[in-house]
Structures are given as C-alpha cells and as structure tokens.
Chains A and B, each alone.
Chain A
C-alpha cells in the first residue's frame, strides 16, 4: 500500500480519490496490460488518474489508418456482430418448427427487431469481406514470413471461422433459400475426402434436420465466437511481440498518442455503424418463406465461398476424391504458407510470389463464377 499522497490542488476531490484511498485502482486497471490491449506497462504505485494521463500521452504507431486499419475493422465488426447476435438470441428459438416463426417475430413484430436483424446480416457480410481483404493484404505484403507466422495462421483461421460463422448462421433463419443453400453446401463438404466425413460427423449428419440445426446454433453462438476471440487475442499478443507491420519504404513511422488513437477508433466505429445502418435501410435483406424440406426451389446454390469447390465437383471430369484432395491440399497450403514460401526478401522473389498468388486467386474467382452461373448437372 503506497504512502498517502499530497492532494493535487487542481484535481477534483471526488469519488475516484475516495476509492483510491482505499484500493489501488492502478493495480486493478493494469490487468488490461496483460492482454496486449494496452501498449505500455503501468506503474501501479501512481494514482490511477496519473496513470491514465500517462497512458493517454503514450506515443503509439498509427495503426488506425492505411492498410493496418483492416485488423481494427475486423475487431470492431466482430464486436458489433456479437452485440446484435446476443440481442437476436434473446428471441430466437433453434428448432425447425419455431426457427422461422421466431425470426419473423423478431423482424416483424418487435420494435427495432428488423434493424438488429439487418445489422447482423450486413455486418456479417462486411466482416467476411474485411477479413478476406486483410488476408490478401497480409499475403501481398509478405507479412506471413518469420517471425509473424502466428499472425498469418490466426488470419487464415479467422477467415475460416468467419466463413463457418456465415455458414452456420445462414441456416438459423430456416427459410427456403438458406435451408437449401445449406443442403448444397453440405453436399460440397461431404464430397471432400477425409475431412468431409469428419466434418459431417461433427456437423450432425447428411440430412439437415433438427439435430443439425441445434448443432449449427451451438457452433454459431458458443464455439466459433470463442475460437474467434482466441484468434483476436493471439493477433494482439503476436503484434506486441513482433511489432506492427513495417511502413512502406521511405516513410517514417507515424506516431500518435494513445488517446488520439482511441478517438480514432471511436470514429471508425461510428463510421462503420453509419455504413451498416445505411445498408440496412437502403438495401435490406429480403425475408423469404419458411423452409419446406420436401419442396426444392430451383436455382439454389451453395454459399459464395463454396462455389469454387462446388464447380470443381460438378463439372471437372475427375473423381471426387482426387479433386477433393487437391482442394484440401490447397487449403492446407494456404494455411502453412510461411513454412515453404520463404523467399529471400528480394523484389524479384516478392514479385514472383505475388504473381503466383494473383494467379491462384484468379483461378479461384473464375471457378466461383462458374459455380454461380453454370447450370447444375
């Protein structure tokens, strides 16, 4: 317990000081430093207000702008999704009989229910876009190389988790389009060798019934968000360890105070919120009819991220186990990129790697387009 300090004549005598005479608030506040959210260690012998002031003045590299902002955006969007998701979960019922009805009650009868639902839907779309763009930028700038491998792995994991969240969340509305899109998606999943049956076992079987729905709900609400939060922690911890990504050549590292950084984050949040509100109002997601497992509407495809494997399985005249193995190899290759894409850092090798990446991406996009446009055989 520190010695009693002289009263700062400019400070407001108030409840904070009252508390500080009894507990070491700085000590309690320092827990934030253990998670990498706060950059500098905290001197817990000083009163909390001084600690806060010092923290506010700490210079931090500007990572709320430029390409570095992508990471922040994913965190903010995820927080938004979590909040809207929890509110939606207050009324949603995960059984086939009640899923559509409860969703419709939320959207139609509850005040602001439509708003939360649209925010959640558009937020998911934006989150998927941002997390993929972030991965592409990490690849482009070679930020998977040592010592940042963990960063790349968590980024890949986050992309996978977000797509899984999208897939599991899609089924929960139990409307005609999402039900059959999930069925198609499950077909693609099952067609993969080795991983297919394992995933099918975990996801609840081949027929999309009430067991599958509840498993999807548990995954979507409990498992996947926890894993995602773990990835966020790993990202922050790794950044604390290896530092932020280097600035482009010739430009000095811009610094700003932590307080300004927090304000910038707040502005980003507000801006993002505005974008989502605009999307939710101007281009709302349509509300379709309830799912009927006995009636298949025409022209339903798997979700967009499964269109490429879908195209491969449908139209490539190659046995599924071969093409499936190739796809799995590709997926693992993306994950384990740092292990074999060393390069020597020279511009030539950098260009070569980038070109290879562009080619792979172009092929993937082409296959997805094929999956979206070609008729089912």
Chain B
C-alpha cells in the first residue's frame, strides 16, 4: 500500500478562502515576512562586518573574478587582463607564484608584505621560470620539455647574461611576462609565423643591434624565400629563426656546421655538397658554405643563373674552375631552353587543338629533372649535373619532334585538299555528262 504524502498544513490546495493564497500558489503573508528576514540577515551581517582590515574574503561583487590572480588585479588591472588570457591562469599559477606576497589582501602592507619579490631582476628571470619548468614531476603531465634552462645557459643569450650583460633576451622577452600562451595559439609570440617578429623585436632593432655590429636580420629574413613560404603560402613548415638557430639554445651555427643546418630540409643539396669538391672535410674552415653563395638570412629561391656568377667569388683567378662553372651553367641552360621550347610548342598545339595532355605530363617530368639538377650542381661536377640535364633535354626533344610530326600531318591536309579537288572536278564532269545525255535523250 502506498502512502500518499500529505500536503503540509501551510499549503493546502483548495481549502477555505478563495484566491491565490487559498489555492496554495502563494505562501501566507506571515511566512513570507519570515523568509525575507532570514534571507536578509546574512547581508546585514556582511554590511555590519565589512570593515577594512578584516582579512576574511567577503561574498560581494567587487572582488576580481579570477581565482588565479587573487586580489592583485584590483590594483594591477592591466596585468590582470593580460594574465587572465594566458595559459598560466588556466593552470592555477597565481601572481604570488612568481612575485610572492599575499594575494588575498587589498592593503599594500600585507599584499606586498612577507615574501614579496616584486618585479624580478632580469638576470633572475630564467632561474625563476626554471623553478617550475625544469621540474620533470611538474611538467610531465603537460608533456613539456624540462631542458630549456639548461639549453639557455649554453646559448648566446645565456652566456652573455652569465657575464653580466642584461641587455639580452630572457624568458619573458620571447614568451611574455603575463600573457604567456602556448605555441599552438595563433596569438602567442611563439606561434610559428610570429617567431620572426618576436626575435626581431631585438634583432631587427638597429638601435639595439647596431652597437653590437649586427645587421638588421629581421628585414633580411622578411625578404627571403623562406619568409614568403611562411607568410604568403601559409606553410607552417617553413623555416623561421629557431629552425636554424635553435630555440632555447639559440646560437648562430658555427663555421663548418652551416651545411648541417640547411641540410635539415635541403637534404639533396647537402648530399651532393658533401660528395663534391666543396666538401668541408677537404677544405676545412676555408671552404665555402651554404651562406657563402646563398646568404644567411636573405635566402632567395633557387636561381639557376647563380651557376654562372657564384664561382667567381672565390675562383676569380682560376680559369679552369671558372670554365667548369660556365659549362655547368650552359648545360643547364640549354636543357631548360629545350624544355621551355617544348612547352611553348605544346601551347601552340593546344590551340589547334591537338591532344596535349600527354605532352604536358612529360614536360612536368622534364621540369622535375631540371629541379633535381640544381641540387646536383652543389657537387660542382659536370657529370652529376649532366645525368639530369640530358634526361630533361631528351624529353624536350621528344616532345618537340612529336608535336612537329603532328603539325606536319595537319599540313598534309592541304595536299589532300588538292587531290580532293581533282576528285570533285571529275565528279562534276561525270554529273554534267549524265545531265547532257539525259537532255539529248529528251
């Protein structure tokens, strides 16, 4: 047997007097007054108790919303705004984690009281960040590396800092102080397309770099093909400053190591370079490196005519080497010309129209060979380059001769036309004979 719940005596549906109260929708007036009084009591108590100097956090609307920044943000709103957008705010890192002090109080004496570090000195910042970021136990959950500090100390920036030069990059210069975002966030300073600007904040500032004898590498980089690949073609795999210089252990590549750096992507060029006469092992520190001909930062797209001009930079007095360079250049150039002639002829055939899909495919293959010939030129040997240029040239020749053949067939049409006219005139003659015979018969 189910027990039905009895409605309480206070709310009795449909009993006694009519109206909202009697129907049970609205509680009786007395009860309402009691409830309101009970609710208001804490508020009154809060008002009574809200005296300055009381450290207990009050439930009111004037406190900052972010638990991470505590109450520091009341006096430091700019920093609070930055911090609230950062990754640290989500991970419950507080202002006090780096700056010390007490973030529950609005009184300066207490807030900036015991343990307050204030703005850390530049030379202390790396160690400060490392206090968490070098701890594997802390970083493991995020799968973040913990070697940044160690690498930093080997870097150009780190070594100078150790020597007392504070006008070098420290963690906050690249990652920001309060607005630290992960590298995958497009607003982050360490987001790949933003990296040149981040490094360029110092290395593109001629006032800063001039006295140190450094050029404006940011401007140089922005004019390079790497920057065009990064910005114009949105290719996030394009190299930025950190690709060649390292991230935390940033330092310029040493002499002899440049080809290893460029060879990270340009594996083919490096392979040929190591197999050729410019090999670092044979030439030691006096040999050419990638940057000798291609510049370090203003790297341009592959320019085949460099084959003609670069050799003279070092071998100006050596006619045999210069001749070799020129031969490689003419070899490449003639093959490229053949392929381009074939391409032009294909376009002409297209307008006839002839079936040109196969020719265009073969021209693309030939162009691939030509593109492969350019890395091969780093071996500075004719035969190596000729392996590709002859293939490209032969494809160009084949395509040209085939198209000429087809165009020749078309010219044959005009001769067939003459034969056709003989046939036509003969037909007219025969018809005329038939007509006249029929007329004579009539």
CA distance A133 to B81 in the complex (A): 85
> Does B354 interact with chain A (Cβ within 8 Å)?
yes
CB-CB < 8 A to A104: which residues of B? 353
Partner of A286, one of B351, B354, B355, B417: B351
Q: Specify the chain B residue showing the minimal Cβ separation from A286.
A: B351
Which of A9-17, A253-261, A363-371 forms contacts with chain B?
A: A253-261
Contact (Cβ within 8 A) A257 B442: yes
Partner of A277, one of B420, B434, B439, B442: B420
Interface size on B, residues (CB 8 A): 21
> Does B42 interact with chain A (Cβ within 8 Å)?
no
CA distance A164 to B432 in the complex (A): 37
CB-CB < 8 A to A271: which residues of B? 424, 428
With A260-B439, A281-B414, A282-B414 in contact, do A267 and B432 touch (Cβ < 8 Å)? yes
CB B355 to nearest CB in A, in angstroms, measures 5
> Does B352 interact with chain A (Cβ within 8 Å)?
yes
Contact (Cβ within 8 A) B355 A108: yes
CB-CB < 8 A to A270: which residues of B? 424, 427-428, 431
CB-CB < 8 A to B354: which residues of A? 108
CA distance A363 to B120 in the complex (A): 92
Q: Specify the chain B residue showing the minimal Cβ separation from A264.
A: B435
CA distance A257 to B438 in the complex (A): 9
CB-CB < 8 A to A277: which residues of B? 417, 420
Q: Specify the chain B residue showing the minimal Cβ separation from A261.
A: B435
> Does B421 interact with chain A (Cβ within 8 Å)?
yes
CA distance A282 to B411 in the complex (A): 10
A268-306 interface bits toward B, Cβ cutoff 8 Å, 1 = contact, 0 = none: 001101100110011000111000000000000000000
> Does A321 interact with chain B (Cβ within 8 Å)?
no
Which residues of chain B in 399-422 are interfacial with respect to chain A, using CB atoms and an 8 Å cutoff? 413-414, 416-417, 420-421
With A266-B431, A267-B432, A277-B420 in contact, do A108 and B438 touch (Cβ < 8 Å)? no
CB A181 to nearest CB in B, in angstroms, measures 18
Q: Specify the chain A residue showing the minimal Cβ separation from B434.
A: A263
With A277-B417, A282-B414 in contact, do A267 and B442 touch (Cβ < 8 Å)? no
Interface size on A, residues (CB 8 A): 25
Contact (Cβ within 8 A) A281 B413: yes
CA distance A288 to B351 in the complex (A): 6
CB A367 to nearest CB in B, in angstroms, measures 33
Contact (Cβ within 8 A) B353 A260: no
CA distance A287 to B417 in the complex (A): 21
Contact (Cβ within 8 A) A263 B352: no
With A267-B428, A281-B414 in contact, do A274 and B435 touch (Cβ < 8 Å)? no
Interface centre among B353, B354, B424, B432 (most CB of A within 10 A): B353
With A281-B413, A282-B414, A287-B351 in contact, do A56 and B438 touch (Cβ < 8 Å)? yes
CB-CB < 8 A to B413: which residues of A? 281
> Does A210 interact with chain B (Cβ within 8 Å)?
no
CB-CB < 8 A to B416: which residues of A? 281
Contact (Cβ within 8 A) A278 B438: no
CA distance A104 to B432 in the complex (A): 40
Q: Specify the chain B residue showing the minimal Cβ separation from A115.
A: B413
B342-371 interface bits toward A, Cβ cutoff 8 Å, 1 = contact, 0 = none: 000000000111110000000000000000
CB B419 to nearest CB in A, in angstroms, measures 12
CB-CB < 8 A to B351: which residues of A? 286-288
CA distance A263 to B427 in the complex (A): 12
Contact (Cβ within 8 A) B427 A57: no
CA distance A270 to B414 in the complex (A): 19
CA distance A274 to B435 in the complex (A): 20
Which residues of chain A in 101-152 are interfacial with respect to chain B, using CB atoms and an 8 Å cutoff? 104, 107-109
Q: Specify the chain B residue showing the minimal Cβ separation from A278.
A: B417
Contact (Cβ within 8 A) B439 A287: no
Contact (Cβ within 8 A) A274 B421: yes
CB-CB < 8 A to B428: which residues of A? 267, 270-271
CB-CB < 8 A to A107: which residues of B? 353
Contact (Cβ within 8 A) A274 B439: no
CA distance A109 to B420 in the complex (A): 23
Taking A260-B435, A287-B352 as given, write out 4 further A-B residue pairs in contact, using a Cβ cutoff of 8 Å, ordered by the A residue number: A260-B438, A267-B431, A281-B414, A288-B351
- For this complex, 14 residue pairs linking A to B, each with C-beta atoms less than 8 Å apart, are A107-B353, A256-B439, A257-B439, A257-B442, A260-B435, A263-B435, A267-B431, A270-B424, A270-B427, A270-B431, A271-B428, A273-B424, A281-B416, A282-B417
Top 5 closest A-B pairs, CB basis? A263-B435, A274-B424, A287-B353, A108-B353, A281-B417
